[in-house]
A and B are shown apart, each in its own frame.
Chain A
Amino acid sequence: MSIEQREARQPWILLTPALTAVTLLLIVPLIFIVVYSFWLKSAVGADTPGFYLDNWQEALTDPFYRDILLNTLKISAITTLACALLGYPAAYFIARSKGNKMVLLVLLMLPFWISYIIRTMSWINILGVSGALNAALIWAGIINEPIQMLYNETTVILGLVHFLLPFMVLNIFVSLDGIDTNLEDAASSLGATRWQGFLQVTLPLSLPGLAAGGLLCFVLSAGTYITPVILGGPRDAMFANLVYEAIIRQLDWPLGSALSLLLLMVLGVLVLIYNRYLGMAQLAKGLG
């Protein structure tokens, strides 16, 4: 074998283990559940292979599933919006501060390293019946009896925002940090106020970062399982909870497959739209 041929083979040898892992543990399993979603659950024994549309019909037409899907998308949208509103000014402050940017950024990234479940349950310490807020309100004499502030849609959104905000800030920061500050100076030297300069120069240039952060927040909250269980009430189930119910509790794997794929398709459409207009490179920037 010539040296050139050897050179040409080397990268494929290096890539083989990772590509094999992704193919066997993700791609083939995804194709497998597409097939599985057309099978039928049997009351006893193995599920019946075949081509039945029953699971898809149930997943797409049952109002119970539809309502939870819409509610999941609504919660994700509100979470994303809240992250953008909270995260943009903070990212702007970090990107434009004269002090040590990196320290500020690392500080905001710290919670990202802290266990997700600990951060989620930490809100019980704040908002629970014997939590900090109730204790403070009683101490201040504003209320006599503790109020239950937990276990509703608002606390689910609160938990999600607390979990996802660092992703948003990081992505906006990456975008803002790449903008030449001379552009804002140029705008103001041409007579624009600071606010006009921001609206017409900085904001449009930072939109890719905002979009990347938004996509991450939306996709991650739409697939969340833990937050609604810990911080939500019985009626705040999100779509991933349905999938868990079907797969783990009811052992209805064909239906669970169809529900998983439905979630994948809805979020996949969003990712495709994003990829069409902005490309995946922006997303990799924020993650790397």
Chain B
Amino acid sequence: MGWRLIRIYTILVYLFMFLPIAVVVLLSFNANQFGSFPMTGLSTRWFEALWNNDAIMRAFRTSIVLGLMTAVISTVLGVLASLALVRYKIPGRNLITTLLIAPILVPEVVLAVALLLFLNFLNFGKSFTLLLAGHVIFTLPFVILVVQARLVSIKRDVEEAAMSLGASPMQTFFAITLPLLMPAVAAGGLFAFTISFDDITGTLFWKPGGIETVPTQIFSMLRNSISPEINALGTVMIVLTVGLPLIGAAIARTLATRSGQ
């Protein structure tokens, strides 16, 4: 009896989470010219409008370039730091970990203000560089947490075996550690990309005039009213943000099983 109640409650919670998202997808195929209820039929006209909207396509390119650069930098910094934290006994480990995770503990607005004002003081005004620096610092803790969790599960023995067979530390890293680490690197990079692609609060503080990312573009379009194009864009982003990690997870699993053999 009690269990059934919990089950119904849980289903309602899931509905609460998914219904609004489902409505976005549903409305993006709406033929109605205002894109609202009642629906008059199915159509892909809003996706075509989206494809022909220069501002949105430009924002898409900006977001992808920014996301990729953020992912590469954050993953390199994060993987190196995680290796040090997991593989070596170092004094002051807890302090270092807290320091590296600090960007999540500081509210994003505060982080945004501090970085903007400081870099401006150094004569780096609002620019793509500032945006990139902000995204890197904001995603770094997430990469470190994800990579660290994966790293713990890789045994030291394999590396020691390689070294005892005469491999140099460099050879060991590239032939043994890195391939074993790939799932963690992929997961960290994907995480950084997704967070960067989705970020809006910091981006609004850092972006120079004229540059829009997808979220800030949506934000400025929302000021007027909710257009059906936004729903179509939402559908594309749902497919991208849900589809990409799923593909990533599948690749990571394949790599993991292959390297496990």
Q: Which residues of A contact B (CB under 8 A)?
A: 10-12, 14-15, 17-19, 21-22, 25-30, 32-33, 36, 86-87, 89-90, 92-94, 107-108, 110-111, 113-119, 121-126, 128, 130-132, 134-135, 139, 162, 165-166, 194-195, 219, 222-226, 229-230, 240, 243-244, 247-248, 253, 256-257, 260-261, 263-264, 267, 271, 280, 284, 287-288
Contact = CB atoms under 8 A, between A and B. Distances in A.
Where chain A touches its partner, the secondary structure class is helix
Contacts of B17: 108, 111, 162, 165-166
Contacts of A226: 200-201, 219
Contact of B88 (A11, A107, A256, A260): A11
Contacts of B115: 25-26, 29
A267 to B, nearest CB: 6
Interface residues of B, number: 88
A248 B97 CA distance: 33
B13 interface: yes
B20 A17 contact: no
Interface in B67-105: 76-78, 80-81, 83-85, 87-88, 90, 96-105
B220 to A, nearest CB: 11
Contacts of A267: 107
A237 B234 CA distance: 25
Contacts of B142: 287
B118 A17 contact: no
A125 B226 contact: yes
Contacts of A21: 77, 136-137, 140
A14 B215 contact: no
B21 A111 contact: yes
A225 B109 CA distance: 8
A90 B106 contact: no
A30 B90 contact: no
A19 B19 CA distance: 42
